[in-house]
Homo-oligomer: A and B are copies of this chain.
């Protein structure tokens, strides 16, 4: 166990926690902080308050020294002036770590800085390492501890995040929660008076449960130390940083926020480059990049192919890609010929691949594989994922009596016994009887073909996707189970059908990704489109897709430069999606 692991472990894996300033007054931070801890942490929790005897039903202690038990971790939610004295008591008590939520230190000027130095001295006496001050707290998945200013929703996951901004950090964590993405550790570190940002990063680097590290930095106190420690971590896993302060106004705001010196932007760029840190421009990008690394392999180069359901989106995506240093490559003649066989004559005849309004969805979903097979294609951007279902739900919600997508009943009046056919298909799928499955599927092809507006050539591709299990059998079974309700008696609406279809596309993209070990970044066409769950994890804009891909290339190139590249799938954990 390295020094840093020994020193920070009591913070993230304490056996007991004391909350100094816990209170029954519900509109104080001491109430919500205590409430957050008792709701999350399964070890012992002791409230400390000079005036109250019982807090939320638990016996309170006047002083930390009165607690008849060892205390590993102490949380401070008391006025700044009394923090140094209480820290002295903690040192005497043998406390190992602390989180100081209290503000009013260096960010307020000279007196505050003096007070902060007193706290540091008092903590040093007992060897206490502390988070903060002027922070919002921490989350540790391994001990289920939310030692935070208020209870906030988060789940366990592969990200570690240290943020000098409580609100930026909190917003990213909560945005991630909405997208089903979790954190192993989250630290709102404030001005980092004791434990430095590079210490947390070093600690996260040693933790096998952490796959990607995020950080929001306002200012570092020792740039050389940061480079030295962090450059060891970036060889093992990606470290992604947001660092404002290029402008005077931001530097000014930083000083009054965390009391940090923003420092020269050029120097930070240099430091990040030296240490292999990927720099981002917004809080949203931190999470987008984490999603990229966790769901996709590292691309082996800058060559990108684009499949788009809309020509103008292909144009915009190409623009972003090239602006960010990716190469939208020319396609070989054979590939163009192959696409000409499955697309209408008006297709784009190049990269971006745009079927130009073809209604043959099967061909559209066959396109990725035809591109990924090419050696010269390092990655794929697949545009418009979920657009059909999103669009359909928009139409339904707009309240109009729209008949688009409603198959006329006469078209399907000839179909009899579809229930029975599907039942047999499901049995064949369950039994893994590919031959039987095939013999049942073939007669269904004309029906599917008429629904999808497709042609026999692409239908064969579809069958082979199922037979090769590129389309997960369970997902396919789910889709065909609802066909009778959709085709015959109308009990299943088009929205449900398309939702299942999205899931099928998602599983298809996942299988391509696994087979070719190349990233497939998918996008929706509408930034306000609901973010879909699953392996595809589509980004809301082409801009984000290109940004994520370009940073993944940057990281791959860095790893190769420092001779640390191992496996393109190393950081890819596939969020929230179960495949057999």
Residues of A within 8 A of B (CB): 24, 26-29, 31-32, 35-36, 39, 103-104, 107-108, 134, 149-153, 163-171, 174-175, 177-179, 216, 218, 244-250, 252-254, 256-258, 282-284, 308-316, 318-319, 321-323, 327-328, 345-346, 348-350, 352, 354, 356-357, 359, 384, 391, 394-395, 397-398, 400-404, 406-408, 411, 450-453, 525-528, 531, 541-543
Q: CB distance B309 to A167 under 8 Å?
A: yes
Q: Contact check: which of B258, B315, B357, B541 meets A282 at CB < 8 Å?
A: B541
Q: CB distance B408 to A39 under 8 Å?
A: no
CB A231 to nearest CB in B, in angstroms, measures 25
User: How long is the Cα–Cα vector from A319 to B318 in the complex, in angstroms?
Assistant: 28
Nearest first, the 10 A-B pairs at minimum CB distance are A165-B312, A167-B310, A153-B398, A257-B311, A247-B322, A249-B328, A250-B319, A249-B318, A168-B312, A27-B453
Q: Contact check: which of B313, B321, B407 meets A165 at CB < 8 Å?
A: B313
Q: Contact check: which of B36, B153, B257 meets A312 at CB < 8 Å?
A: B257
Q: CB distance A257 to B314 under 8 Å?
A: yes
User: How long is the Cα–Cα vector from A357 to B33 in the complex, in angstroms?
Assistant: 13
Q: CB distance A103 to B356 under 8 Å?
A: yes
Known: A346-B107, A391-B174. A315 touches B404 (CB 8 A): no
Q: CB distance A248 to B322 under 8 Å?
A: yes
Q: CB distance A318 to B526 under 8 Å?
A: no
User: How long is the Cα–Cα vector from A321 to B250 in the complex, in angstroms?
Assistant: 9
Closest to A107 in B: B346
Q: Contact check: which of B316, B328, B346 meets A168 at CB < 8 Å?
A: B316
Set of chain B residues within 8 Å of A216, measured between Cβ atoms: 312
Q: Contact check: which of B165, B312, B327 meets A218 at CB < 8 Å?
A: B312
Q: CB distance A167 to B312 under 8 Å?
A: yes
Q: CB distance A249 to B175 under 8 Å?
A: no
Q: CB distance B152 to A319 under 8 Å?
A: no
Set of chain B residues within 8 Å of A356, measured between Cβ atoms: 103
Q: CB distance A394 to B178 under 8 Å?
A: yes
Q: CB distance B249 to A345 under 8 Å?
A: no
User: How long is the Cα–Cα vector from A408 to B250 in the complex, in angstroms?
Assistant: 41
Set of chain B residues within 8 Å of A316, measured between Cβ atoms: 165, 168, 244, 250, 282-283
Set of chain B residues within 8 Å of A248, measured between Cβ atoms: 322
Q: Contact check: which of B167, B322, B400, B411 meets A311 at CB < 8 Å?
A: B167
User: How long is the Cα–Cα vector from A311 to B252 in the complex, in angstroms?
Assistant: 12
CB A240 to nearest CB in B, in angstroms, measures 16
CB A261 to nearest CB in B, in angstroms, measures 13
CB A21 to nearest CB in B, in angstroms, measures 14
Q: CB distance A408 to B26 under 8 Å?
A: yes
A-B contact pairs, 28 of them (CB 8 A): A27-B450, A27-B451, A39-B402, A103-B356, A104-B345, A104-B346, A151-B400, A151-B402, A163-B312, A166-B357, A167-B313, A167-B384, A167-B525, A171-B526, A174-B526, A175-B527, A178-B526, A216-B312, A244-B316, A249-B318, A249-B328, A250-B318, A252-B318, A252-B328, A253-B311, A253-B348, A254-B315, A256-B349
Among A27, A29, A150, A179, the one with the most B-chain Cβ atoms within 10 Å of its Cβ is: A27
Set of chain B residues within 8 Å of A394, measured between Cβ atoms: 152-153, 174, 177-178
Set of chain B residues within 8 Å of A452, measured between Cβ atoms: 27
Set of chain B residues within 8 Å of A308, measured between Cβ atoms: 167
Q: CB distance A398 to B177 under 8 Å?
A: yes
CB A36 to nearest CB in B, in angstroms, measures 7
Q: Contact check: which of B150, B171, B253 meets A314 at CB < 8 Å?
A: B253
Q: CB distance B322 to A257 under 8 Å?
A: no
CB A398 to nearest CB in B, in angstroms, measures 3
Closest to A360 in B: B27
Set of chain B residues within 8 Å of A249, measured between Cβ atoms: 318-319, 321-322, 327-328
User: How long is the Cα–Cα vector from A402 to B40 in the complex, in angstroms?
Assistant: 10
- Known: A150-B404, A249-B322; 20 extra A-B contacts, CB below 8 A, are A26-B407, A26-B408, A28-B359, A31-B404, A108-B346, A153-B400, A166-B310, A166-B311, A167-B308, A171-B526, A175-B528, A244-B318, A246-B319, A250-B322, A252-B350, A256-B354, A257-B312, A257-B348, A282-B316, A283-B316
User: How long is the Cα–Cα vector from A321 to B249 in the complex, in angstroms?
Assistant: 8
Known: A246-B323, A526-B175. A357 touches B103 (CB 8 A): yes
User: How long is the Cα–Cα vector from A531 to B218 in the complex, in angstroms?
Assistant: 29
CB A170 to nearest CB in B, in angstroms, measures 8
Known: A29-B359, A402-B151. A315 touches B174 (CB 8 A): no
Set of chain B residues within 8 Å of A152, measured between Cβ atoms: 391, 394-395
Set of chain B residues within 8 Å of A451, measured between Cβ atoms: 27
Set of chain B residues within 8 Å of A400, measured between Cβ atoms: 39, 151, 153
User: How long is the Cα–Cα vector from A256 to B104 in the complex, in angstroms?
Assistant: 61
Q: CB distance B348 to A318 under 8 Å?
A: no
Set of chain B residues within 8 Å of A258, measured between Cβ atoms: 311-312
